[in-house]
């Protein structure tokens, strides 16, 4: 039964791929429509980020985050730097052009104590991006089963199954459960069934949650909160929203992301995974507006949910506060 | 396991049985195996043009990879694949044995245009670990019109190997000297 479901899932993925190939001609095919929107961006250049930060190290911060775009964020925990899901290339898998350039020039990234990759999709595991920062990376973490799509780089790469941790120099990284899918190509859905994860970073009493790419699953978020009751910062995806019937089993919408933030019991949320690429049927700005509505409904102010522009940096815990 | 072919099923069983349990930091061998969607992808033909002593002929080829060794795959994982090879494992650097049934619009009967080819091919990553661009060189032996011939080929691929161009040269066995193939392959 499970294998039949797996085959059906793979066939569905293939159908989506076929729709990609037929983009623009496959009327009624949502994926085809998305692919058509993507194709329209292929001949445009990413918009520049004004006044890109050249020195991301914040001397005034114990905990800071710089949103590079999509699910890529540079997290500073005192003297440690962690980069999430690095996507620094102009295109994703040569099929999707980014709408805005990365929020930092890769040359200006500091030495990275860890790079964490949440799952195998092209917009989260980007070998071309890893090539750009290879000399800066100390260690790369991927979910269980993920190393098959990580080539031999100069840095160490290792898998981190759910609820397991790796600690070095006081920086502790734990893989935590999220709800998504682990395949990269579709056909591999039959065996890449576990290669997706979230992470919790701990260092000097600072705690950061990275959701990667996840649908809403309250039980998994609450289980994480039970183990990590003092999360300072939650990086949570808020898009794609539409078409909801397709996305809801894979992606939180902004309202669900706010609920996940509350489930996690985190002090601060920074939204990610929006307005960097063509995201489903979402219009640029739509996810942000929906998040602002959800914040208003829940009584959350900008002190709790910090919406950064691409290239924007926020100090979450100032140096003097602890 | 979904529907399988007997040999492939045996290989798949080996792959599943050799999958390692999860331990922190240890690579997990993927349980790569034949599935119905994979079979469907193998049915997609690659169109080609052949040019020889008379005129150009159109045709198509399919491809199977009984054995592949990848040097691009993470060093902690098995580099061997049997029939089913993930695009990344192939395009990031590998050498494969391939078997290629082909058909050219040729001669007076259907059988006249059938060609069987077997050979070896090496892939080299050129950009983004081969996902954006890779190249190949290879050699093969083929059977056409009841005669054996030898051929040499080069190729270039994009979109993680989905789309590529292969040029095949046969120095010694007319009626076919050059073949250009639009290689369409997903897995």
Contact status of A128 with chain B (Cβ, < 8 Å): yes
Backbone region of residue A233 per phi and psi (left: phi > 0; alpha: psi in -120 to 50; beta: other values): beta
- Chain A residues with CB under 8 Å of B40 CB are 11, 14
- Number of other CB atoms surrounding residue B166 within 10 Å: 20
Beta bridge partners of B104: B59
Over residues A101-119, mean pLDDT: 98
Neighbouring C-alpha atoms within 13 Å toward the C-beta of B17? 6
Over residues A293-313, mean pLDDT: 97
Among candidate residues B76, B46, B103, the one with its CA nearest the CA of residue A156: B76
Over residues A283-299, mean pLDDT: 96
Contact status of B179 with chain A (Cβ, < 8 Å): no
What pLDDT does A39 receive?
A: 65
Q: Which residue of B has its CA nearest to A156?
A: B25
What pLDDT does A2 receive?
A: 47
Quote the minimal CA–CA distance from A19 to chain B in Å: 14
CB contact under 8 A, A148 and B89: yes
Look over chain B and give the mean of its residue pLDDT values, rounded to a whole number: 86
**Percentage of residues in chain A with pLDDT exceeding 90?**
80
- In chain B the first and final C-alpha atoms are separated, in Å, by 18
Contact status of A22 with chain B (Cβ, < 8 Å): no
**Percentage of residues in chain A with pLDDT exceeding 70?**
86
Cis peptide before A131, with omega less than 30 degrees from 0? Answer: no
Contact status of A134 with chain B (Cβ, < 8 Å): no
| pLDDT per residue as tens digits for the range B118-136 | 999 999 999 999 999 999 9
Answer whether residue A127 shows pLDDT above 60: yes
Size of interface A-B (CB pairs under 8 A): 122
A244 by DSSP, 3-state: which?
helix
What long-range pairs does B116-122 form, CB within 8 A, spacing at least 24? B116/B142, B116/B143, B116/B144, B117/B61, B117/B141, B117/B142, B117/B143, B117/B151, B118/B142, B119/B151, B119/B153, B120/B95, B120/B96, B121/B95, B121/B96, B121/B153, B121/B155, B122/B94, B122/B95, B122/B96
CB contact under 8 A, A6 and B35: yes
- More confident call, B175 vs B187: B187
Answer whether residue A187 shows pLDDT above 50: yes
- Chain B residues with CB under 8 Å of A165 CB are 24
What pLDDT does A4 receive?
A: 52
- Number of other CB atoms surrounding residue A70 within 10 Å: 31
Q: Is A31 exposed, middle or buried (0-12, 13-18, 19+ CB in 10 A)?
A: buried
**CB distance A258 to A265 below 8 Å:** no
Answer whether residue A26 shows pLDDT above 60: no
Q: Which residue of A has its CA nearest to B78?
A: A148
What pLDDT does A19 receive?
A: 42
| pLDDT per residue as tens digits for the range B22-50 | 455 679 999 999 999 999 999 999 999 99
Answer whether residue B15 shows pLDDT above 60: no
The Cα A129–Cα A133 span in angstroms is 7
Going by C-beta distance under 8 Å and a sequence separation of 6 or more, which residues neighbour residue A11?
Answer: B36, B37, B40
Over residues A3-21, mean pLDDT: 48
B7: pLDDT confidence band, cut at 50, 70 and 90?
very low
Quote the minimal CA–CA distance from B89 to chain A in Å: 7
Over residues B104-120, mean pLDDT: 86
CB contact under 8 A, B40 and A14: yes
B13: pLDDT confidence band, cut at 50, 70 and 90?
very low
Distances (CA, A) of A174 to A74, A168, A201, A228, B41: 17, 12, 7, 10, 37
The Cα B61–Cα B104 span in angstroms is 9
Q: Is the dihedral of CA B51, B54, B57, B61 positive or negative?
A: negative
Going by C-beta distance under 8 Å and a sequence separation of 6 or more, which residues neighbour residue A179?
Answer: A214, A215, A216, A217, A220, A249, A250
Contact status of B120 with chain A (Cβ, < 8 Å): no
CB contact under 8 A, B158 and A94: yes
What pLDDT does A44 receive?
A: 77
Q: In the numeric block, which tokens belong to residue A189? A: 């859905």
Over residues A39-65, mean pLDDT: 89
What pLDDT does A304 receive?
A: 97
Answer whether residue A28 shows pLDDT above 80: no
CB contact under 8 A, A186 and B37: yes
Q: Which among A151, A190, A191 has the least Cβ separation from residue B92?
A: A151
- Chain A residues with CB under 8 Å of B14 CB are none
Answer whether residue A15 shows pLDDT above 70: no
The Cα B50–Cα B179 span in angstroms is 4
Helix (H) or strand (E) holding A176: strand A171-176
Q: Which among A14, A94, A145 has the least Cβ separation from residue B159?
A: A94
Among candidate residues B27, B32, B33, B31, the one with its CA nearest the CA of residue B77: B27
What pLDDT does A21 receive?
A: 39
B90-101 CB burial, b ≥16 within 10 A, e <16: bbbbbbbebebe
The Cα A24–Cα A282 span in angstroms is 17
- Number of other CB atoms surrounding residue A48 within 10 Å: 10
Q: In the numeric block, which tokens belong to residue A34? A: 């998305």
CB contact under 8 A, A159 and B92: no
Residues 88-117 of A with CB under 8 A from B: 89, 93-95
The Cα B47–Cα B180 span in angstroms is 9
CB contact under 8 A, B37 and A145: no
| pLDDT per residue as tens digits for the range B51-92 | 887 778 899 999 999 999 999 999 999 999 999 999 999 999
- Chain A residues with CB under 8 Å of B186 CB are 17, 185, 187
Contact status of A32 with chain B (Cβ, < 8 Å): no
The Cα B158–Cα A72 span in angstroms is 25
- Chain A residues with CB under 8 Å of B27 CB are 147-148, 158-159
Contact status of A35 with chain B (Cβ, < 8 Å): no
The model carries a pTM of: 0.87
- Chain B residues with CB under 8 Å of A184 CB are 86, 88
ipTM value: 0.83
């Amino acid at each position: 039964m499970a294998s039949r479901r797996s085959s059906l899932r793979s066939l569905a993925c293939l159908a989506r791929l076929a729709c990609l190939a037929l983009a623009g001609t496959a009327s009624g095919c949502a994926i085809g429509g998305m692919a058509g929107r993507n194709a329209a961006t292929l001949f445009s250049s990413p918009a520049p980020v004004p006044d890109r930060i050249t020195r991301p190290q914040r001397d005034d911060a114990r905990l800071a985050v710089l949103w590079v775009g999509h699910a890529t964020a540079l997290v500073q925990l005192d003297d440690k730097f962690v980069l999430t899901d690095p996507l620094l290339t102009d295109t994703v898998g040569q099929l999707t052009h980014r709408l805005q350039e990365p929020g930092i020039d890769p040359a200006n990234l500091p030495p990275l104590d860890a790079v964490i990759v949440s799952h195998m999709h092209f917009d989260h595991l980007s070998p071309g991006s890893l090539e750009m920062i290879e000399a800066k990376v100390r260690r790369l973490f991927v979910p269980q089963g993920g190393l098959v799509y990580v080539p031999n780089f100069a840095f160490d790469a290792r898998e981190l199954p759910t609820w397991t941790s790796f600690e070095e120099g006081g920086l502790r990284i734990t893989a935590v459960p999220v709800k998504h899918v682990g395949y990269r190509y579709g056909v591999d859905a039959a065996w890449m069934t576990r290669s997706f994860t979230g992470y919790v970073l701990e260092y000097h009493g600072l705690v950061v949650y990275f959701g990667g790419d996840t649908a809403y699953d309250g039980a998994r978020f609450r289980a994480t909160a039970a183990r990590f009751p003092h999360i300072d910062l939650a990086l949570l995806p808020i898009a794609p929203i539409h078409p909801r019937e397709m996305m809801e089993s894979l992606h939180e919408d902004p309202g669900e992301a706010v609920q996940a933030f509350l489930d996690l019991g985190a002090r601060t949320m920074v939204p990610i995974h929006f307005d960097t690429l063509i995201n489903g049927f979402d219009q640029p700005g739509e996810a942000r507006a929906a998040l602002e509505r959800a914040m208003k409904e829940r009584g959350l102010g900008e002190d709790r949910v910090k919406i950064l522009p691409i290239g924007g940096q926020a100090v979450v815990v100032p140096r003097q506060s602890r | 396991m979904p529907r399988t072919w007997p040999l492939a099923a045996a290989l798949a069983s080996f792959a599943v049985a050799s999958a390692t349990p999860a331990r922190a930091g240890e690579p997990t061998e993927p349980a790569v195996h034949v599935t119905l969607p994979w079979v469907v992808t193998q049915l997609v033909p690659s169109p080609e043009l052949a040019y020889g002593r008379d005129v150009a002929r159109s045709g198509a080829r399919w491809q199977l990879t009984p054995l592949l060794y990848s040097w691009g795959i993470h060093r902690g994982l098995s580099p061997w694949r049997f029939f089913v090879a993930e695009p990344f494992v192939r395009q990031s650097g590998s050498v494969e044995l391939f078997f290629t049934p082909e058909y050219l619009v040729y001669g007076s009967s259907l059988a006249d245009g059938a060609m069987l080819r077997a050979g070896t091919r090496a892939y080299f990553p050129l950009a983004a670990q081969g996902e954006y661009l890779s190249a190949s060189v290879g050699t093969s032996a083929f059977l056409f019109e009841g005669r054996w011939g030898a051929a040499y080929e080069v190729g270039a691929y994009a979109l993680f190997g989905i789309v590529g161009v292969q040029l095949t040269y046969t120095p010694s066995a007319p009626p076919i000297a050059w073949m250009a193939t639009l290689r369409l392959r997903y897995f």
